A and B are shown apart, each in its own frame.
Chain A
Amino acid sequence: MFAKKTFNINFMRYKKVAMLLSAVLLILSLALLVVRGLNLGIDFSGGVLVQVELSQPLPVGDLREVLRNEGFSGSTIQGYDEKGIIIRVAADTDEAQVQVLQALKQKDPDLKLLRLEKVGPVVGRQLRQEAIFATAIALVGILAYITFRFRFRFALVSVAALVHDTLITLGFFSLLGREISLPFVAAILTLVGYSLNDTIVVLDRVRENWKEYRSLGLDNMLDKSVNQTLSRTINTSLTTFLPVCALFLFGGPVIADFSLALLVGILVGTYSSIYVAAALLSEWYTRYPAKS
């Protein structure tokens, strides 16, 4: 069974193309984040969420109209199956929940209340700060760990790769206008860990090949490392992608955005661990060779 071919793809020949592609994606993502921003959910902006199950399917437009009549013009209405509806309103008064519910009951008196959430503006601000702080701490911790285990340059390129993955995922969410909630932050931090996991396996091989293949030239050595780990990279991404895909499709509406963030992150992360880290190392060591 081990007669399968080995890969021998000349990755570094296309490193300029790949870096250009990454740069374009990064600039697009940053532009989206600056111009469109992220659609912060009630967890971060404060507000009210009401999830109900209608007794019979109703057009979303009808519900939007009743809500508008009650003065909730800035509400978002998301239908996730025939009868399931999630409504988010920016208001943060205690009465808002009751008012939204009563407005909906005008249209469908027999609806069933599934979920009710209210986040005050104080808590929203606090959660936002904590999310940013947590991400920063995680990044510093991981940077420290890789510096300790590898070389500092390796640590920097792998952090560059994960910033790349995270920013593009955020940009994708900004493009779609999907809601950013607390589980989304969990997804992003998981992605940070996952993206590194992938990159580390490649860098680990680079480290192993370092002495032996310096004679081959930098790019050949990097190519060899990427090729040697290629089937692992692809297989692992696939085995992680499959269950998360099942979670996205069958896991229900509450967790769908979480899974979507992971799906995008896994795709971008696979690409970046093949290309971004190695291509950056290639550029860096070509221009500024290591002292030793």
Chain B
Amino acid sequence: MLRRERWRLLLVLVVVLAALITVFPIKGRIRLGLDLKGGAHIVLQAKGTEENPLTGDSVERLLAVLRNRVDQYGVTEPVIQRVGGDRIIVDLPGVEDPQAALELIGKTALLEFRPVLSVSSQVPAAPHRENYDSDETFQRAQDRWQEAKDEIDALAVSMEERQKDDSSLYVGRDERGTVYLLGSPAVTGRDLQDAKTSYDNLGRSVVTLKFNSEGTKLFDAATRDGVGKQLAIVLDGAVISAPVVQERISGGEAQISGKFSPAEAQRLSIMLRAGALPVPVEILENRSVGPTLGSDSIASGMRAGLIGAGLVVLFMLVYYRILGVAADLALGVSMLLLFAGLVSLHATLTLPGIAGIILTIGMAVDGNILIFERIREERRSGKTPLAAIDSGFRKALTTILDANITTLIAAAVLYYFGSGPIRGFAVTLSIGIVTSVFSAIVVTRVLVSVFAGTRRGSWLA
């Protein structure tokens, strides 16, 4: 073996050793994307209104409130970042209930206590055909129901007329469709000190509020003036309940009871503690993957990768024999380096990223094929085995570089424009191209030299 080849062999051994130390044990070393470990990716658009325009400050406060909510909800390693002027990306790894996460992030959670000025009757439940004996009785019931509904709608219209004259008033509806005309807010969520979930004596989930000193004063005044009247609890414009004030409450505590599940009550109290969003938000994009699908994706990706790699290894062995052994070993080194690259660049592995790795398996042996075909041609033109190997590698080099740089250009563009999963694909593809070029022109070369040295090139004859 030539002196130069010895240095190459040493280089390969050092690189492989370093890669092994970087990669093993693999568990926990590779950062998984949300599509593999499960979680929610949410993109929010902050929306200013006329009274509440969007400013740099309000977006900053929005971020703070969101961070607060997410922290209290107990998500590990969340990512909350501002993109451009008015968009926010929220990544919540490991969230099991995507719907709950959406509500936690997207709800403004503006709480208001407003005195009830007037109220409609409750909208009765719509009649069901099964409960009536004949079509006529059903029809009559439907007419009666429609009449009641029209009456309430008419009342709502007249309430809205009054609201136009006095902008401090508010017309709200509750879940059952009852319409309320409400006075200006007596107390709001801004004056809260704490919010907790508990159960009332009927076993229902409730949210217990504790006002700060300002809120305690305001709530005291509202209940003092409103004994015997209804006080509506309004959340994001919807009336949750409108209990009648039994007595003046000066202790600064109140209870919200609605039809909450324990989880909903939990979320509401988190949102009330963290405060209302300073500006409303719209959910532009949301992608949530459950943990089972993520681990399924990893498993099927691994299976596809192993099968694919097995087929390629087999093909190279059958077609190129001993040179195939070199190519297969080089493929192994290339994959090892790919994973080492992922680990040391702290890259995130996504599902398309796994596809990129599998694609690289096929492309990694391409360099070897180019070289081997060249060596064959050089042999045919009459060169000795060692000379053929030497010029085969030399002539294939520029072709290998040219062919791979174009794919690298495409991958770079994908990295620049893509987000999340696609970016993961661009990363694995790029690293894969670099490691497979390295393994073809350095690793394969060393292996072929070693083989040629031990068997004196007789196998190439």
Q: Is A288 an interface residue when CB atoms closer than 8 A count as contact?
A: no
Most chain B beta carbons < 10 A, residue from A235, A247, A249, A250? A247
Residues on A with C-beta less than 8 A from B386 are none
Q: How far is the CA of A105 from the CA of B329 in the complex (A)?
A: 52
Q: Which of A8-16, A57-65, A237-245 contacts B (4 or more CB under 8 A)?
A: A237-245
CA distance A291 to B102 in the complex (A): 66
B301 located at the interface, meaning its Cβ lies under 8 Å from any Cβ of chain A in the complex: yes
Q: Which residues of the partner chain A approach B409 to less than 8 Å between Cβ atoms?
A: 138, 141-142, 145, 193
| B377 contacts A by Cβ under 8 Å | yes
Whether A118 contacts B286 in the complex (CB less than 8 A), given A94-B102, A243-B305, A254-B297, comes out as yes
Give A241 to B288 CA distance when docked, in angstroms: 31
B410 at the interface (CB under 8 A from A): yes
Option from A98, A117, A245 in Cβ contact (under 8 Å) with B288: A117
Chain A interface mostly helix, strand, loop or mixed? Answer: helix
CA A120 – CA B370 in complex, angstroms?
Answer: 47
- The answer, among A182, A200, A246, for a CB contact under 8 Å with B406, is A200
Establish whether residues B319 and A235, one from each chain, have CB atoms under 8 Å apart when the complex forms. yes
* B361 is an interface residue with CB less than 8 A from chain A: yes
CB distance from A224 to the nearest CB of B (A): 12
Q: Which of B351, B362, B363, B405 contacts A255 (CB 8 A)?
A: B351
Closest-CB distance, A223 to chain B (whole angstroms): 16
What is the minimal beta-carbon distance from B43 to any residue of chain A, in angstroms?
A: 7
How far is the CB of B128 from the nearest CB of chain A, in Å? Answer: 16
Cross-chain contact B304 with A249 (CB below 8 angstroms): yes
Most central of B316, B376, B460 by chain A CB within 10 Å: B376
DSSP majority for the B interface?
Answer: helix
Are A247 and B358 within 8 A (Cβ)?
Answer: yes
- A68 to chain B minimum Cβ distance, whole angstroms, is 20
| A235 surroundings in chain B (CB, below 8 A) | 315, 319, 369, 373
Q: A189-B414, A232-B369 are in contact. Are A244 and B315 (CB under 8 A)?
A: no
Q: Say if the beta carbon of B185 comes within 8 Å of chain A.
A: no
* Chain A residues with CB under 8 A of B426: 186
Given A142-B409, A232-B373, check contact A200 B402 (CB 8 Å).
yes
Chain B positions within 8 Å of A249 at CB level? 304
| B287 in the interface (beta carbon within 8 A) | yes
Contacts of B297 in A (CB 8 A): 252, 254-255
CA distance A51 to B416 in the complex (A): 29
Q: How many residues of B contact A (CB 8 A)?
A: 78
Known: A200-B399, A242-B362. A6 touches B355 (CB 8 A): no
Residue of A nearest to B406 (CB): A196
B-side contacts of A145, CB under 8 Å = 405-406, 409
Inside 8 A of B363's CB, which chain A residues have their CB?
Answer: 194, 197, 236, 240
Q: Do A97 and B284 form a contact, CB below 8 Å, given A250-B307, A252-B300?
A: no
| Closest CB in chain A relative to B324 CB, distance in Å | 10
Chain B residue numbers with a CB within 8 Å of A114 are 289-290, 292-293
Query: Residues 261-282 of chain B: 1 if any A CB is under 8 Å from the residue's CB, otherwise 0?
Result: 0000000000000000000001
What A residues does B405 contact at CB under 8 A? Answer: 145
Residue in B369, B403, B425 whose beta carbon sits within 8 Å of that of A200 in the complex: B403
Whether B418 lies near A197 (C-beta < 8 A) is no
* A231 proximal to B (CB < 8 A): yes
A130 and B417 contact, Cβ closer than 8 Å, known pairs A183-B352, A239-B366:
yes
- Cβ of B309: which chain A residues have Cβ within 8 Å of it? 243
The verdict on A172 contacting chain B, using a C-beta distance below 8 Å, is no
> Is A123 in contact with B43, judged by CB distance below 8 angstroms?
yes
| In the assembled complex, B283 has its CB within 8 A of some CB on chain A | yes
Contact of B258 with A by CB under 8 A? no
Nearest to B385 among chain A residues (CB) is A2
Check if B407 sits within 8 Å of A190, measured CB to CB.
yes
Asked if B369 and A113 sit within 8 Å, CB to CB, the answer is: no
**Inter-chain contacts of A38 with B (CB < 8 A):** none
Of the A-B pairs whose beta carbons lie under 8 Å apart in the complex, a sample of 25, sorted by A's number, is: A1-B321, A114-B289, A114-B290, A116-B98, A118-B286, A118-B287, A120-B284, A120-B285, A122-B45, A186-B352, A189-B411, A190-B359, A193-B408, A236-B369, A240-B359, A242-B308, A243-B304, A243-B311, A246-B308, A246-B358, A247-B359, A250-B303, A251-B301, A255-B354, A262-B359
The 8 closest A-B pairs by CB, nearest first: A243-B308, A240-B362, A193-B407, A193-B410, A246-B308, A134-B417, A114-B293, A252-B300
Binding site for A on B (CB under 8 A): 35, 43, 45, 98-99, 102, 106, 282-290, 292-293, 296-297, 300-301, 303-305, 307-309, 311-312, 315-316, 319-321, 351-352, 354-355, 358-359, 361-363, 365-366, 369-370, 373, 376-377, 379-380, 398-399, 402-414, 416-418, 421-422, 425-426, 429, 459-460
**11 extra A-B contacts, CB within 8 A, seeds A142-B406, A245-B308:** A94-B283, A114-B290, A119-B285, A120-B283, A122-B45, A134-B414, A145-B409, A189-B410, A194-B407, A200-B406, A254-B351
